[in-house]
Each structure stands twice: as C-alpha cells, then as structure tokens.
Structure 1
Amino acid sequence: MSSRSTPSFCHPGYRYFPSGQKTVASVRATANNKLLPSFNAPILKVMLIILTLALQCHPRDALAGDKTYILSYSPVSLFHELVRDRVKEAYQRAGLDVQFIPLPNKRSLLSADNGDVDGDVGRIASIESSFPNLRRVDAKLIDLHGAAYTTRTEIRSYDKGLLDHYRIGYVLGVRWAEDLMKGREATKARDYKGLFDLLKENRVDIVLATTASADAVIKQNTTSDLPIRKLAPLIFSEPIYHYLNKKNSAIIPRLEQAIREINRHPPLIFYTGAPSPQRDIVQARLREACRRIDQTCEVRFTGSSQRALVLAGNQGDGDAFRIGTIKTMEPKATDNLLLVPESILQVQFNVYTTGAPFPVNGWESLAGLRNGLRVGVKILEQKIPGNRTILPDSDRLFKMLAENRLDTVVEHGDVAEYTLYKLRLPNIRKLVPPLASFPGYVLIQKKHHQLVQPLADSLAAMKADGSFDRLKTEILNRYSSQTW
C-alpha cells in the first residue's frame, strides 16, 4: 500500500523554516518577512541597506525597538557554533531579535568591523587591536582552549620547541594559532575535518586546534591506522567575548546583564542530530519539562546524530532523544548517560519510493534494494539490509531517490514530509504501514542523576494536561504559516 506524501502541516505557497539551520541564504529580514538572497561579501552591504530601508518603512516597529541584529560566525568550527548558541540565549534573555549568518573566519571579523553585519558572535580579546570598530560585550561567554594533536608516538607532550622542528598545521583564521605560528612555516586547512585529514595522511606532524572542535572530529573518526592524541599541557586558554560594531553600543549593557545571568545559572546543554521538525518538537517539550522543575536548558543541533551522542557523553549534559535500546546498542558511547524513563517523542520510520508500491513487512522487506538512510540513526544502520547509502541529511537522499539512484529512503514521517515539500518532490510515495515505530527518550549525564525522575514526572504531567501534544501542534502550525 502507498500514499502520496503530502505534509499535513503545509499547503501550496508555504514552506517549513527550521530554526537553527539558517545559512547565508536564509537570513530573514524581520521587517518584510522575506529571505535575503544568497550572497558574497560585496553584496552584503547592499542587502543590509535594503534591510535598513525596510525598517524605515515601518516606523512604528522601529520605534518599538524591533530591530533584528545580524551576527556572523564561522561554520567550520564546532566551538564557534557553541558560542553562537550561547549568544542566541543571551539575546533572547535581553529581549532582542537576532539572526546568524555563516562566514569564513576572517571575513566574519572584517564584516563586523566594517559594519556590514552587526557583530561577530565571539572572539578572544586580542582582536581588539586589529579591529578598532568592534566593541566588547564585557561578560565572558565561554572559555576557549587550544591544544596540539599528533599521531607521532615519539612526541610525548607539548613544548613550544616542537613548532620549529615538526610540520605544523592549523585552520585558517584561528587567531591564537596564527599568532603562535607567526614567522614559522605552517600548512593551513579550511576546516577541522580537513586539518585532521592532513594529520591522518601524514602531510603534517602536529595540528593546532581548538579542543571542542578537535575532540568532536576525532571521536567521529574510526578509520585512522594511528590514534590521534591530544598533547598536554594546553597551548592556549582564554575567555571568549561577544563583539558588536560600535553603532550597536547601546545594547551592550543589556547583553552583559543577560550573559551574567546565564553564567550564574547555566542551562543544561542537550545535543541532537535530529532534523526538523523532530528537533523543534523535542526542544519545546524538553524546555517546558525543565521549566517545571526550575531548570533551564538549551538543545543544540550538531548536524549528525553520532556527533550528538559523542558530545552528550563528554562535554554536554545529555542527548535530547534516543530510542530506548540505545544503551545496549552503544554501551561505550552511553556509559556516562542515564535514560529518563518517560518518552519525549514517538519515532516512526516510513519507507519512501518512486517505484511500484510493495508490502512493508519488517526489515527484510528491503532486502535486495538500494536503500538510503541518515548517518547516526543507529537502529536503521543496524537493521536495514541490502545495498545501503548512508548520508548526513535527508535532502541528498531524497534527491537521489527522485533521480532513481536509490530504490527507497527510510525516514521519520514528519521529517520526510517537510523535506519532500521543501524540495518540491511530489512523485515520491510513502509506503504503509510504517517500517518501525518506537518511543524516544532523553539521555542525561550521570552527574545529574537527581534530575532523572523529576524530568520523567514533568513529561508525564505534560502528557496528562495536554501541553505535550499542544507544543507539537503549535510548532507544526507555526512553520506551516511561514513563506519561503
């Protein structure tokens, strides 16, 4: 049996706009609710002039202080994404609207200094001498730690003398690494994956990297013949501050107060690799569950379910949702995590195809087919047979399906409907019944063991009073009413 996949929360002329997945091409101009087009650096000023004129055309909104502040960040660094999320929380607490655009590391700073954007999400204080138009929000966001990594067994610890005797690599635009290597030869990579590829391929001996970004890359890598080691002691450790162009100096006191409040009562940090709308629903429910027990939380999107699990067990406070058998499936990755015994989401995976419908009677229904699935969805990785294509996102999988390069794609129903509508792929059918359906649960670090039962009780109370279902309905309705 099959059914044409038509999103229940969309209608012609509307598209779902996922929070937390904004790119340069998707920064929204608040005044006229239009998306800014894809751009390069010379066009940025023109875009922001248009945004300013749009605000001037709505004087009532401008007088109300409804400006949307546009901040840049570097997408090649997980650390910069963590800083971005902290800045987002600060703006929300300060009652300010904010949007983020990804730019290369140096261009991000230059754009903020020139006033092309309103600011850069976060930098070390030493940048002030080189960018005179930037003003520091003088409340620490987070600490940045830098370290040296190597595969060479004879290097036991870090010493500055190593920089003169070994081949060194770092990511272009990382200021502390550039300062350290000034006057020395080095190989520069565009991002951290590329940097550690240089190390694995023996094209450099040591890489200099921000620990948060580096450790995540290393833990996702299982193909290197030689283990990658972080050398002690740390090379660099400095606080990170948010920077604004001087034209926005008036909001600095509000942001400083908001950041200090966050630092006094830091939120629980949960990670997820789940795409929209799953992550938006989970985020809303988890925030409400935390609020009811006098806690606050942030749900951070990592782009990869595997990456989320690694971060949850090491430097965050938990994983926003996983299937109940995850601790059996991934005992090592979840050793530091406890399961909250009340579900936060019902996970339902369906099979999608462009071919003739066929009966879905369990995993073996897919035997002998070219099947596509998202990386990091552990139960799919373990159970789906046949010739498998595993990719980070559903967009590419459904495009391959539309091009007849795959026979099926297996995806969560809400995620698939959003993706198909976004990509305008009406000729892909959903097979019924679902391939699998099971509850998803929050995982929280053992250091928060006292919160396990209160969170479970909070989620149960939400189900009883109707807010659990209401939050999902509100999210789907909100996104269905936004134009692209």
Structure 2
Amino acid sequence: MLTISTNNTPSDRKALEQLAAEAFRRVGFGIQVVNNPSERSLVLANQGEVDGEGLRVAGLATQYPHLIQVPERFIGISFVAFVRQPGLQLDGWASLQPHRIGFITGWKMFEAHATGARIVNRVDTPEQLFRMLAQDRIDVALYTLADGLALVQRLGLSGIQAVTPSLRDVDMFLYLHQRHSALVPQVAQALRDMKADGSHARLLHGI
C-alpha cells in the first residue's frame, strides 16, 4: 500500500484517485490518497514521509531532487484567470502585472509565472481566493478552469467569469519518492496500457 499526498482540486483529486488506483493495481500495489497543504505536500513527498505526490506540472524534480516524475500524463488541465471586472482583458502572464492577483500558496505554475503582478496575495484555500475576488480585494483569481467554475456556482458568487484564452494548458503528472524508482517505468506503462484499452477514458468520463 502506497500513500500519495495531494492538494489537488476536487475533480483533479478524483482523477488522481481513480487513475492511480487502477495503474497501481496493475503493478500489484494499492494506494491511499491523503490531503496536505500544497507546499507541505511536496515537502513531505520529497522527504519520503509519504510515497508520492500529485498531480503536478512537469519538471518539479529539479526543485525536489528526491522525487521522480512518472513520465506519462495523467490528465490535462487549464490554468485560467477569473475576474469580476466587466471587460477586463488579459492575454498571457505579462498582462497580470498591473493587477492585484491571488492564488493558492504552493501552486508552482503561478509561483513561476505570476509573481510579477502589482500585488500578489497567497491564500490557503480556493474558497478564500474566490471570496476575495467577490469582495473586490483582488482583481484576478488564478485557478483551474473546471473546478473554478464549479466553485463559483457552489458558493453562489455572481459576476465572476473565466477569461479566455487560458493562461496555460498543461499536462499533469504523478511523482514518486526515489525509493520507488523501480516502480516508475511500470506505472508509466500501466497508464499507457490504460489509454490503449480505453479504461483511462472511461474512468475520466465517470468523474
């Protein structure tokens, strides 16, 4: 039984749970998924206190050297800007610079590309983030498209919309602690097999 830590959005966590459960089942392991704050989740995995971490963008092994990226895409997601101000035009990371922005602490995509904005607010939860936007405490909330739209609806927030095009569409990956290096190619192959036999698509369709 392996423990995978995550700070994914609700739909991405479901994808991680279901896809990873099937991939690891095919190589003879069970998994449990636990929640931790975003930055702590990576640190715990890098220190080996849990067995892996996901889902994350590619390339984090350079910053967390004890983690190995499973080199097969789990899912793709869209990172977007949510705004309340009518007609606010954004096109790419540089367009965020004049604005007050917010994102969740530890989200590496935004830490890498969005910290040049006029005011940067880091928060702990998506609920905090979107309430700040609704209360005009920030101009732009950075989050993922599908879960952001669902959260706006769940919180009953009016006038908030996602800006198109997305800031970036990315592939998301699982990372395993280096003690499980032998499992990395096996899990990658299991994912490829799942895509080939249709089970990957079926599992995602049910989320």
TM-score range, shorter chain: over 0.9
Deviation of 1:327 (Å): 2.1
Does residue 309 of structure 1 match 2:42? yes
1:355 is aligned with what amino acid? Answer: Q
Residue from 99, 107, 113 that aligns with 1:383: 113
Partner of 2:26: 292
Distance in 2 between residues matched to 1:284 and 1:417, nearest whole Å: 22
Residue from 3, 6, 15 that aligns with 1:281: 15
1:289 is aligned with what amino acid? Answer: A
**Does the 8 Å contact 1:336/1:446 carry over to 2?**
yes
Deviation of 1:399 (Å): 0.8
Deviation of 1:297 (Å): 0.8
Distance in 2 between residues matched to 1:357 and 1:290, nearest whole Å: 46
What is the CA deviation profile of residues 80-119 of structure 1, one whole-angstrom value per residue up to 9, with x for unaligned ones? xxxxxxxxxxxxxxxxxxxxxxxxxxxxxxxxxxxxxxxx
1:284 match: secondary structure: helix
* Superposed counterparts of 1:12-27, under 5 Å: none
Distance in 2 between residues matched to 1:399 and 1:359, nearest whole Å: 21
**Does the 8 Å contact 2:12/2:55 carry over to 1?**
no
RMSD, aligned CA: 1.3
Q: 1:447 to 1:417 in 2, by over 3 A?
A: same
Deviation of 1:422 (Å): 1.3
Higher Rg of the two aligned structures: 1
1:471 match: secondary structure: helix
Does residue 459 of structure 1 match 2:191? yes
**TM score, norm. by length of structure 2:** 0.94
What is the CA deviation profile of residues 292-347 of structure 1, one whole-angstrom value per residue up to 9, with x for unaligned ones? 11111111111x1111111112211111221112123x2xxx22111110011213
Partner of 2:178: 446
* Superposed counterparts of 1:346-365, under 5 Å: 346-365=76-95
1:365 is aligned with what amino acid? Answer: S
Deviation of 1:357 (Å): 2.9
Does residue 322 of structure 1 match 2:52? no
**Does the 8 Å contact 1:339/1:442 carry over to 2?**
yes
Distance in 1 between residues matched to 2:88 and 2:155, nearest whole Å: 24
Distance in 1 between residues matched to 2:145 and 2:32, nearest whole Å: 25
Distance in 1 between residues matched to 2:197 and 2:138, nearest whole Å: 43
Residue from 45, 67, 77 that aligns with 1:337: 67
Distance in 1 between residues matched to 2:59 and 2:104, nearest whole Å: 18
> Please, which runs of 5 or more residues in structure 1 have no aligned partner?
1-266, 476-484
1:458 match: secondary structure: helix
**Does the 8 Å contact 1:372/1:410 carry over to 2?**
yes
Partner of 1:406: 138
Distance in 2 between residues matched to 1:311 and 1:440, nearest whole Å: 19
2:56 is aligned with what amino acid? Answer: R
Larger RCO: 1 or 2 (CA < 8 Å, sep 6+): 2
2:166 match: secondary structure: strand
Deviation of 1:352 (Å): 0.6
What is the CA deviation profile of residues 262-287 of structure 1, one whole-angstrom value per residue up to 9, with x for unaligned ones? xxxxx111101112121111111111
**TM score, norm. by length of structure 1:** 0.41
Does residue 368 of structure 1 match 2:101? no
Partner of 2:152: 420
**Matched length:** 204
Distance in 1 between residues matched to 2:81 and 2:200, nearest whole Å: 27
Partner of 1:17: none
Deviation of 1:356 (Å): 2.3
**Does the 8 Å contact 2:104/2:122 carry over to 1?**
yes
1:338 is aligned with what amino acid? Answer: I
2:16 is aligned with what amino acid? Answer: V
Aligned-residue identity in percent: 28
Distance in 2 between residues matched to 1:411 and 1:309, nearest whole Å: 19
Partner of 1:235: none
* Superposed counterparts of 1:30-109, under 5 Å: none
Distance in 1 between residues matched to 2:162 and 2:173, nearest whole Å: 26
Deviation of 1:380 (Å): 0.3
**Does the 8 Å contact 1:268/1:297 carry over to 2?**
yes
1:287 match: secondary structure: helix
1:352 match: secondary structure: strand
What is the CA deviation profile of residues 143-177 of structure 1, one whole-angstrom value per residue up to 9, with x for unaligned ones? xxxxxxxxxxxxxxxxxxxxxxxxxxxxxxxxxxx
